[in-house]
Structure 1
Amino acid sequence: MGLGTIVLLVALIAVVLYGTVIYNALVAVKHAVAQSWANIDVLLKQRNDELPKLVAVARQYMGYEQETLERVTQARNRAETAQREGDMEALGAAENEIRLGLGHFFAVAEAYPELRANEAFNQLARRISGLENAIADRREFYNAAVNRNNVRIAQVPDVLVARLLGFTAFELLQFDPSEIRDVDVAALFRN
């Protein structure tokens, strides 16, 4: 075996090893995205399980506020559908509707002292508020994982391996523009 053959063989082995390292790194960032989404998914399911209980308790006291209760329930259903379908844009919009609906819901609940005194309502409200905060935190982790994946598959030389092996970009879970505006608290009390 000649020196040229040995050099070619070493170069080929180096390329294969380097390609393997890149592939493994791409797999790691892809699975980080999946794990981040699974964490959000668990919290969304927990929150979606708690919302009907909260609405059921509130219905006992808020007979005239049916529209508010229905708005939260419909937003929950849209969020579940978007979550099932993996539609990040629709999920972001539905999550925004839930947050706005819950804000309105809790503002309206202030007008019902008997409801505010109900321990089950208070416990569910605290639980849902805690889940909302956890979902926001997990959304940040998800978007960071998506960003790492998307940057990685766009950079040279990773892009060569990513395109060759079919690695794709993921969609960020975006905030609705109304979420980043200042909240008009007075309007919540007028509706």
Structure 2
Amino acid sequence: MDIALILSAVIAVIIILVGLGIYNDIIARHNGVQRAWSDVLVYERQKTKVLDQLQKVLADFMVFESSLLEKITGLRSAINALPAGANGNALTNVETASREVMGGLRIAFEAYPDLKASEAANNMMREIAEQQENVGAAITIYNRNVELFNNAIEMFPGSVVNGLFNKKIRVTPFSDTEASQGFSYTPNA
């Protein structure tokens, strides 16, 4: 009988330790998602700083391209309106506005190549493109962290531990519907 009691105690300790490990893993993955989202916000806000400088340079262009200023202002507002909490859906408007601004800038520079500000503006466009690449990389990392977190809270035994203790909810990854419309392939569900 002493062996059965000792064996039961060892099994109970193992179950508790495994449960604590799963609980801590869920918390760590949730924190990873929040950190990755913060990185996306940092890159978007860095892009805002470059846009502020670009806005000054584009004052020379405003005679030719008044709508571009509105698009840049709208993009800055969209970036500043991103929530502090992880939300892949909120990033859709910002990425669409970024594409519109970049397209408008390319058209403006091609139409008016002799403007004195064009070289500075071209340098800033390269900086914005680099910032946009950073945002893309941060989104990739964010979506990977979201996948790992969602798997941790939805798959057994993490779903049991999460249901009993953490009560964390599924996080929405970022998806670009505009980009996905260009593909005819869809994975089998």
Q: If the TM-score is normalised by the length of the shorter chain, which range does it land in?
A: 0.7 to 0.9
Q: Which residue of 2 aligns with 1:172?
A: 173
Q: Deviations over 1:59-113 (max 9, x none)?
A: 2133131112212211320232124575532321222122222212222221112
Specify the alignment match of 1:148 in structure 2. Answer: 148
SS of corresponding position for 2:168 = coil
Structure 1 pair 117–66 and aligned structure 2 pair: CA distance change class (3 A):
closer
Alignment map for 1:98-113 (pairs within 5 Å):
98-113=98-113
**Most deviating of 14-23 and 116-125:** 116-125
Q: Does 1:36 align with 2:51?
A: no
- Higher RCO (CA-CA < 8 Å; seq separation 6+): 2
1:58 aligned partner: 58
How many pairs were matched up?
181
**3-state SS of 1:59 partner:** helix
Contact 2:60/2:117 (8 A) holds in 1: no
For 1:85 and 1:20, locate their aligned partners in 2 and report how far apart those are by CA, in whole Å. Answer: 26
Q: CA RMSD in A?
A: 2.1
TM-score of the pair, normalised by structure 2: 0.85
Counterpart amino acid of 1:47?
Answer: K
Instruction: Tell me what 2:49 maps to.
Output: 49
* 1:100/1:90 CA distance change after superposition, 3 Å: same
Q: Could you tell which deviates more after superposition, 152-161 or 62-71? A: 62-71
In structure 2, relative to structure 1, the CA distance for the partners of 1:34 and 1:52 (3 Å cut) is: same
Structure 1 residues 113, 95: closer, same or farther in 2, change over 3 A? same
* Deviation (angstroms), 1:16: 0.6
SS at the partner of 2:61? coil
- State the TM-score, normalized to the length of structure 1: 0.84
Q: Distance in 1 between matches of 2:136 and 2:36?
A: 12
Please say which of residues 157-166 and 117-126 is displaced more in the overlay: 117-126
Query: CA separation in 2, counterparts of 1:84 and 1:31?
Result: 13
What one-letter code is carried by the residue in structure 2 that aligns with 1:25? D
Unaligned runs of 5+ in 1: 183-191
Map 1:1-191 → 2, pairs under 5 A: 2-84=2-84, 87-115=87-115, 118-164=118-164, 165-175=166-176, 177-181=177-181
Q: By how many angstroms is 1:117 displaced?
A: 5.8
